[in-house]
């Protein structure tokens, strides 16, 4: 009978340790709540920014090409005619959208960077149990 009592006390002890471990784990996770999205936000922001820069470069070249083709006939793209205005406004929406998404990507990458910087020392805390032993190279090499 004492064995069954000892078994129950052991299970109660381990249950308490599991609960304490879960509480410590939850305490460690709460400061990292937003920080776990920092790296994906940084990557997504950088990708968005690079794509928008490429889009804006392509729009610049297409705009220049249209202006050059229009100018071959002896016309100026800066004229006040409807045709010149239509050529100037061809990529206006894409240019504006590219600039807006570029700013959003830069802000997203900056926010991810700030979060990663603020929580750079949070990872690794309380993950290893320190038993007080200091092991140096001689101990590892067997000397």
Q: What pLDDT, on the 0 to 100 scale, is given for residue 123?
A: 53
How many angstroms separate the most distant Cα atoms in the chain?
107
Q: What pLDDT, on the 0 to 100 scale, is given for residue 46?
A: 95
Q: What pLDDT, on the 0 to 100 scale, is given for residue 82?
A: 83
Q: For residues 77 and 31, is the Cβ–Cβ distance under 8 A?
A: no
| Residue among 89, 83, 99, 95 at smallest CA distance from 58 | 95
pTM above 0.85, yes or no: no
pLDDT tens for the chain, 143 residues long, are: 555 554 444 444 444 444 444 444 444 444 457 777 888 899 999 999 999 999 999 999 988 888 888 888 888 777 778 888 888 888 888 999 999 999 999 999 999 999 888 887 775 555 455 566 788 888 888 86
Helix (H) or strand (E) holding 137: helix 137-141
Q: For residues 129 and 86, is the Cβ–Cβ distance under 8 A?
A: no
Domain spans in the chain, listed from the N-terminal domain onward = 42-120
According to the 3-state scheme, what is the secondary structure of 50-103?
A: HHHHHHHHHHHHHHHHHHHHHHHCCCCCCCCCHHHHHHHCCCHHHHHHHHHHHH
Judge residue 97's burial from the number of C-beta atoms within 10 Å of its C-beta, 0-12 exposed, 13-18 middle, 19 or more buried. Answer: middle
CA-CA distance, 109 to 39, in Å (whole number)? 9
Terminal alpha carbon distance of the chain: 51
């Amino acid at each position: 009978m004492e064995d069954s009592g000892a078994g129950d006390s052991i299970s109660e002890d381990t249950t308490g340790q599991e609960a304490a471990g879960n509480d410590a784990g939850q305490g460690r996770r709460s400061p990292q709540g937003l920080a776990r999205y920092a790296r994906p936000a940084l990557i997504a922001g950088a990708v968005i920014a690079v794509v928008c820069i490429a889009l804006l470069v392509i729009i610049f070249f297409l705009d220049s090409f249209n202006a050059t083709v229009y100018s071959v006939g002896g016309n100026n793209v800066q004229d006040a005619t409807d045709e010149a205005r239509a050529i100037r406004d061809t990529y206006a929406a894409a240019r504006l959208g590219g600039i807006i998404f570029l700013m959003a990507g830069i802000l997203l990458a900056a926010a991810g960077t700030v979060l990663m910087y603020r929580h750079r020392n949070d990872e690794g805390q309380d993950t290893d149990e320190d038993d007080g032993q200091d092991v140096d190279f001689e101990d590892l090499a067997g000397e």
